[in-house]
Amino acid sequence: MVDSNGLSIHDRPNSYIGRSVPRPNLSRLLKGRGSYADDVKLPRMVHVAFLRSPLAHADIVKIETDKASSASGVIAVYNGKDLAKVCSPWVGVVTHLEGMRSPPQNLLAVDRVRWQGEPVVAVVAQTRALAEDAIELIEVKYKELPLAVDMKTALDDDTEVIHKEYENNLCWERNVNAGDVDAAFAEADVIVEEEFQFGRHTGVTLESRSIVADYDPGEEMLTLYQSTQAPHMKQALFAKHLELDEHKIRIICRDVGGAFGLKAHAYGDEFATAAISKILGRPVKFVADRMESFLADIHARDHVVKGKIGVSKAGKILAIEIDDLTGIGPYSVYPRSSGMEVNQICNLTGGPYKFDNYRARGRVVFQNKPPMCQYRAVGHPIAITVTEGLVEMAASAIDMESIEMRKLNMVADDDYPNKTVSGIPLENLSHQASTDKLMEMVNYKEIRDEQKKLRKEGIYRGVGFAALIEVTNPGPAFYGVGGAPISAQDGCSVKLDAKGNLIVGTSITEQGQGAESVISQVVATAVGITPDKIKVISGDTENTPYGGGTWASRGTGIGGEAAAKAGKVIRDNVLDVAGILLQSEPNTLDIQNNQVVNKSDGAERMSVAEISRVVYYRGDTLPKDFQAEMMAVQHYFPKSYPFAFTNSVHCCHLEVDVNTGFIKLLKHWAVEDCGTVINPQNVDDQVRGGVVQGIGGALYEECIYNEQGQLLNGNLADYLVPMAVELPDIVVGHVESKTFESDLGAKGAGEAGTAGAPAAIMNALNDALMPFDVRLTRQPFTPQKVLEALGKL
């Protein structure tokens, strides 16, 4: 959106774009004044707790709840059949992932349980503790069934088929075939193959999933205080399955204690809470405790990928082939589906590089484990680890510096727009500039010299790289075309109050990333009002425009652009009034620091607050044929490209203790190109936080299951997450290649850290262990796996 004089938002005076303004909502959180769903306390509120299946696959023979029903403080007890009468089952399939299938899923198990942790009975009581006491009094008789736990055997003929309506445990398969892969491999001087594994881990948001459902039978109105990332999506889903009018559902999510994708899905226990509130006509609270979070939150990753790369002697990539298998639990998760990760892996593998021949097969299988679905950087860590692992091995095979091989094969910065080998359009990326910048930041030669020296002393250090592309700013092609009620557009409302302040409503949500800060900075810049006079409202379906929310690195790029557009309308509208009052042409005026000024010399003419006063209180002084409009709503979604791809390149430096197998991260560097940077400090911390989640998956985090489908480490003491002491300082650099789709030019920045870190760590680890001629490719890289590789265990 460029002015008549050719200026865009980047030419605004006193711009807040590119400035590390402190986040306006952080002060409140620092004083313990946050308002999370569990902080909500309503009159007559009761609490629900769930009896969850102790078995991974069994028929429910009998549920005996009489003792629980008469226990102290208990108000009601419901089983799956009871709640199925109030809330219809759902199917977690999106139609654009052709051929995908998944059966209807009930809120609570009906007749059969299919994973350990599946909710079976809901107990409502005066307090959570009393509800849990009553759960102890419930007797469920199960008949155990054969299991399909291991995804590797899930498709075997003799494996139990989980859903009797299907002939096997396949949920979905995707195949990609570009160029002539067989001919290219035949032509290749060197072919390298490897199998990569990615452990099953989970989100572990510090604030667990939480909801307070408050149904008012008088108004037939359901108000939900929910920790979620997508309020309007949730509104649509609750309306559909509880058979309520959509406009009589209000989702309020004020503070959300971390989300990372896991709060963008439908969960049976949360819908059960709403269903129970509808039955009882009073508020009901459910907050997942940590133990049940491990069993009931979506899990992530869990892939095994066979990869193959063919290169020429000179280092040109000729072909890549992958075969990915993932286990997603017994159901594809509603409404986004559990096929997206495989879809992404098929799309993203080989992403930074120019080559013509690519074959991918991705298979998604059902198994008796908790449902797996989208978690930060969906598919990226897998595609990138496979690609960059293969590139590293190929470079080693032809005795070339891997960073040189990457540079040789990268799509050139002046060769955009372009397409990936699988046909995904790429608008404007900067692999070369980003890699050059990274190499300026990393003291590579010194690290190599030191590595040589230290090896002689028995100290093994390694350095590894990873280049990547990342999907951000998804349009309707992501979910909407597949029939899911997930908006790809976002909106922003800007209202000038009677004192010259701005009340801004955004449909993107805040989970700590700084969404409200971004919106505030963009509106401040677009209008010419200082951020201290701007109040941003998010996370309330009744008080914000309709939109998608915050996921898939879309908030800034899509919601931010809507804010820029709405701000511009308000500026124009204010200047129309100013033109009348000042008897000047509006296009000779501007707004800076809350004042209407001359564009020519910046001289202050009148305050915006004075315009507010006149408009709201003294409209009689304005011409009769003029009506001032001091509120504007604008919406936006990207139209030319289905996604805005970003790029990033990482470097990891680490040390391996070959006696204990412990890996110490020494330093991590990441150069990120997310287009326009609105708040540099926020973006850097998004990258850092993302890198640390990538470190978690690469080194520590894994949901460990036995053959019976029992989680062995489902608590925060046994499931390891990265803590401060294990982590290095993380150095972040930027290149800014704007997307030309929007005036703002911003792409997403939330996921590239998680996307790239595991691959860089794996390559650094294998570099460190080069003298021992071993290679580790199964994440997480625990001390045990290191010692096993070294033959010491």
| Closer residue to another protein in complex, CB, 224/670 | 670
Of 338, 507, 513, 538, the one binding another protein (CB under 8 A) is: 513
Going from the C-alpha of 5 to that of each of 438, 541, 711, the distances in angstroms are 38, 37, 63
Binding segment (CB under 8 A) for another protein, from list 55-63, 154-162, 522-530, 716-724:
716-724
Q: Give strand ranges (E) for 203-331.
A: 210-216, 221-226, 249-252, 284-287, 299-311, 317-327
Minimum distance of another protein from residue 636's CB (angstroms): 25
27 contacts another protein (rule: CB under 8 A):
yes
Candidate segments 30-38, 56-64, 236-244, 741-749, binder of another protein by CB under 8 A: 30-38
Q: Which of 11, 39, 404, 532 binds another protein (CB under 8 A)?
A: 39
The answer to whether residue 602 forms part of the interface with another protein (CB under 8 A) is no
Name the one range near another protein by CB under 8 A: 254-262, 265-273, 297-305, 354-362.
254-262
Shortest distance, position 694 Cβ to another protein, whole Å:
10
Q: Could you give the CA distance from residue 191 to residue 186 in angstroms, rounded to a whole number? A: 9
Contact flag: residue 374 with another protein (CB under 8 A): no
3-state DSSP of 60-104: EEEEECHHHHCCCCEEEEEEHHHHHCCCCCECCCCCCCCCCCCCC
Q: 170 or 716: whose CB is closer to another protein?
A: 716
Give the amino acid at 358: Y
Q: E strands within 703-785?
A: 730-734, 778-779
Q: Which residues, in sequence order, are bridge partners of residue 230? A: none
Nearer to another protein, 263 or 359 (CB): 263
User: Is 509 a binder of another protein (CB under 8 A)?
Assistant: no
* Window of 87-95, 180-188, 335-343, 684-692 that interacts with another protein by CB under 8 A: 684-692
> Token match 């990928």: residue?
305
Contact between 512 and another protein per CB under 8 A: yes
Per-residue contact track with another protein, 213 to 252, x per CB under 8 A? ----------------------------------------
- What is the rounded CA–CA span in Å between residue 724 and residue 730? 12
* Cα separation, 191 vs 390, whole angstroms: 10
Q: Binding segment for another protein among 104-112, 161-169, 257-265, 593-601 (CB under 8 A)? A: 257-265
Let me know the angle formed at the C-alpha of 434 by 433 and 440, rounded to the nearest 5 degrees.
Answer: 90
Classify the phi-psi angles of 745: left when phi > 0, otherwise alpha if psi is within -120 to 50, otherwise beta: left
| Smallest distance, another protein to C-beta of residue 680, A | 10
The DSSP 8-state label assigned to residue 194 in this structure reads: E
The answer to whether residue 706 forms part of the interface with another protein (CB under 8 A) is no
Would you count residue 511 as binding another protein (CB under 8 A)?
yes
260 binds another protein, rule: CB under 8 A: yes
Q: Does 508 bind another protein (CB under 8 A)?
A: no
Which are the contacts of 281, defined by CB distance < 8 A and separation ≥ 6? 215, 216, 217
Q: Which of 34, 73, 89, 485 binds another protein (CB under 8 A)?
A: 34
Report the residue from 688, 775, 778, 785 that binds another protein according to the rule CB under 8 A: 688
Residue 724 interacts with another protein (CB under 8 A): yes or no:
yes
Burial of 250 (0-12, 13-18, 19+ CB in 10 A): middle
In the complex, what is the shortest distance from the CB of residue 511 to another protein, in angstroms, rounded to a whole number?
Answer: 6
Token pair listed for 85? 């009468």
Give yes or no for residue 603 binding another protein (CB under 8 A): no
CA distances from 61 to 64, 141, 143, 160 (A): 10, 5, 7, 19
What distance lies between CA 717 and its chain's CA centroid?
25
CA-to-CA separations, 17 to 12, 238, 302, 678, in angstroms, rounded: 9, 37, 39, 5
Strand partners, 174: 362
Alpha-carbon distance of 467 to 648, in angstroms, equals: 6
Is the CB of 17 or the CB of 204 nearer to another protein? 204
Q: Where are the strands (E) in 599-662, listed by range?
A: 604-607, 631-636, 644-656
Residues 461-490 that bind another protein (CB under 8 A): none
Cα gap 26→584, rounded to integer Å = 41
Residue closer to another protein, measured from CB, 491 or 689: 689
Query: Which CB, 103 or 549, lies closer to another protein?
Result: 549
Q: Which two tokens stand for residue 113?
A: 């349980």
Nearest to 221 by CA among 305, 283, 295: 283
Q: How far apart are CA 141 and CA 442, in angstroms?
A: 61
User: Taking the C-alpha atoms of 598, 600, 602 and 604 in order, what is their torsion angle to the nearest 10 degrees?
Assistant: -20
Please choose, out of 32-40, 320-328, 428-436, 761-769, the segment that lies near another protein by the rule CB under 8 A: 32-40
Judged by CB under 8 A, which of 18, 104, 258, 579 binds another protein? 258
Stretch that binds another protein, among 3-11, 27-35, 335-343, 629-637 (CB under 8 A): 27-35
Other residues' Cβ atoms within 10 Å of the Cβ of residue 36: 17
| Minimum separation from the CB atom of position 257 to another protein (A) | 4
Number of Cβ atoms within 10 Å of the Cβ of 558: 35
Is 32 near another protein (CB under 8 A)?
yes
Which segment (348-356, 500-508, 658-666, 711-719) binds another protein by CB under 8 A? Answer: 711-719
Could you give the dihedral angle defined by the CA atoms of residues 94, 96, 99 and 104, in that order, rounded to the nearest 10 degrees? 10
Site string for another protein, 523-562 (x = CB under 8 A): ----------------------------------------
Selected binder of another protein within 140, 162, 236, 256 (CB under 8 A) = 256
| Distance separating the N- and C-terminal Cα atoms of the chain | 63
What is the residue type of 717? A
Among 218, 623, 717, 771, binds another protein (CB under 8 A): 717
Residue 75 or 391 with smaller CB distance to another protein: 75
Task: Give the range of 392-400, 477-485, 550-558, 709-717 binding another protein by CB under 8 A.
Answer: 709-717
505: enclosing H helix or E strand: strand 502-506
Is residue 22 close enough to count as binding another protein by CB under 8 A?
Answer: yes
Residues 105-134 binding another protein (CB under 8 A) are 129
Kindly tell me which of 660 and 715 has the beta carbon lying closer to another protein: 715
Size of the site for another protein (CB under 8 A): 55
Q: Does 672 bind another protein (CB under 8 A)?
A: no
Quote the Cα angle for 773-779-782, to 5°. Answer: 75
Of residues 727 through 746, those in contact with another protein by CB under 8 A are 727, 729-730
Strand partners, 200: 301
Based on the shown chain and the rule CB under 8 A, indicate whether residue 38 belongs to the binding site for another protein. Answer: yes
* Position 65 contacts another protein (CB under 8 A): no
The verdict on 689 binding another protein (CB under 8 A) reads yes
- In angstroms, give the least distance from the CB of 677 to another protein: 14
Note whether 667 binds another protein by CB under 8 A: no
Residue 252's alpha-carbon distances to 39, 87, 212, 240, 688, in angstroms, are: 13, 21, 10, 18, 29
Q: Annotate each residue in 172-211 with x if it binds another protein (CB under 8 A) or - if it does not, as one string.
A: -------------------------------xxxxxx---
Q: For another protein, which is the closer residue by CB, 33 or 152?
A: 33
297 binds another protein (CB under 8 A): no
Longest dimension (CA), the chain: 89
Interacting residues with another protein (CB under 8 A) = 20, 22-23, 26-27, 29-36, 38-39, 41, 129, 203-208, 255-260, 289-290, 511-514, 681-682, 685, 688-693, 715-717, 721, 723-725, 727, 729-730, 753
